[in-house]
Structure 1
Amino acid sequence: MISAEAYEDARLLWDYHRMHHAPRVSSVVIGLGSHDLGVADVAAHLYHQGLAPVLVFTGATSPTTRMRMPRGEAVHYRERALELGVPDEAILVEPRATNTGENIEFSRQVLADAGVAVSSVLLVSKPYEERRSYAMMRKLWPTVDVISASTHMKLHEYVETIGDASMVIDMIVGALQRVLVFPGRNLAIPQDVPQEVVEAYERLARQGFTSRLMPVAEKT
């Protein structure tokens, strides 16, 4: 049972992770692989709004997604987008990436190989990955304009769709650690993190929401 105090701390982190960017016309939508098919839903919605002519879905599998998406995250995302009416010719699949750095690097190569000129990206992620993904894109692909996007949900609504509050909070805590650590590893631009957010993160870690925290030696 998750305490009301822990849930409030998670909400603070959730709100911080959201970038609140307004989507606008871009060269491409890139959907970052994960366990959450909502990423594909948002990407398809942006396509149908006419905000980009092509989608890239990127991601292999991870311990979290191996059972849920046995054919690979990008492949399952593509299948979902096709179900939602996105034409096959508008979708590129990048099936090898196993972390966000590779998502960015390999998607960039897939687009180059396809002859797609990219000056701007609508970057779709899980809601609590918006800020980290944005910071990494700004560092690793600095020549493009980046807009973060995700499903519009409050924390409690998102937990209901996933069905596992502890896993979601673990993920939120892990995402915050990466916002703090990755600039020092030359993987992301620095972000201003309010002290109240840092304190909430530390309280959640002390309470055991740590399954997504990186070991000190891990770099991706």
Structure 2
Amino acid sequence: MAFSEETIRLAQQIWDYHHVNHTLQPADCIMVLGSHDLRVAERGAELWLQGYAPWLLFAGGLGRLTLGLWQETEADKFAAVAQQMGVPAENILIENRSTNTGENVALSYQLLQARQIKVKRFILVQKPYMERRTLATFEKQWPGEQTEILVTSPQIAFKDYPNQDVTLEEVISIMLGDLQRIKVYPEKGFQTYQPIPAEVWAAYEQLVAQGFTSHLIAE
């Protein structure tokens, strides 16, 4: 399906907002959040191979998009990608029971506690359009002592992101769903507050009016 230049322009605004543009620094652990997108696993492995942290943690069981699509969990599938890229198995941690970001937080914390691994700085790796929501969720829900959180994602431009696994229409719809959650979830205690510029919210409203509503929640 072809979309107008205006639709692409509005979607690019949402895409740009979802990026937090953190400058990465050495950390105690790289945590890769599971999904259907193996490029996220590749980004996490690249960072480990570049020496950013001693541990590479993959979190994710089978979620809404992978349940019925994959036979093995997201974390196990991602870990296999990392090992194929050269990350030793002894440096990989696997949390493969969680089905959402909140469970990613809780179960990964339990795993690190059990292994007696202290994390003062995390690098979180997520899909490009989920950077900001991931930051907001971890800032609110990570237990224990204060932990610095840096977020990154596969270094892919918006126009190049759709592939055989996710269409442009799906990407736009998912981005709008995440932006809506960034707006409403702080009131529910799920995430920290993230300011949304007026022009970004205007772009959201115009795209919703165009019908990109499949990932919105009832408020």
Q: TM-score, normalised by structure 2?
A: 0.94
Deviates more, 1:166-175 or 1:62-71: 62-71
Residues 163 and 96 of structure 1: is their aligned pair in 2 closer, same or farther, counting only changes over 3 Å?
Answer: closer
Equivalence for 1:189 = 192
Task: Note the alpha carbon deviations across 1:132-163, whole angstroms, 9 max, x for none.
Answer: 10011111127100000111111001124745
Number of positions where the alignment pairs a residue of Structure 1 with one of Structure 2: 216
Equivalence for 1:157 = 160
Give matches, 1:15-26, under 5 Å. Answer: 15-26=16-27
Shift of the alpha carbon at 1:112?
Answer: 0.8
Give matches, 1:25-174, under 5 Å. Answer: 25-141=26-142, 143-160=146-163, 162-174=165-177
Q: TM-score, normalised by structure 1?
A: 0.93
Question: Identity across aligned pairs (percent)?
Answer: 39
- The whole-number CA distance in structure 2 between the counterparts of 1:40 and 1:146 is 18
CA RMSD of superposed structures (Å): 1.4
- The whole-number CA distance in structure 1 between the counterparts of 2:45 and 2:56 is 8
Unaligned runs of 5+ in 2: none
- The whole-number CA distance in structure 2 between the counterparts of 1:144 and 1:161 is 36
Shift of the alpha carbon at 1:10?
Answer: 0.9
- The whole-number CA distance in structure 1 between the counterparts of 2:86 and 2:164 is 22
- The whole-number CA distance in structure 2 between the counterparts of 1:51 and 1:85 is 15
SS of alignment partner, residue 159 of structure 1 = coil
Q: Which amino acid aligns with 2:215?
A: R
Unaligned runs of 5+ in 1: none
Deviates more, 1:198-207 or 1:78-87: 198-207
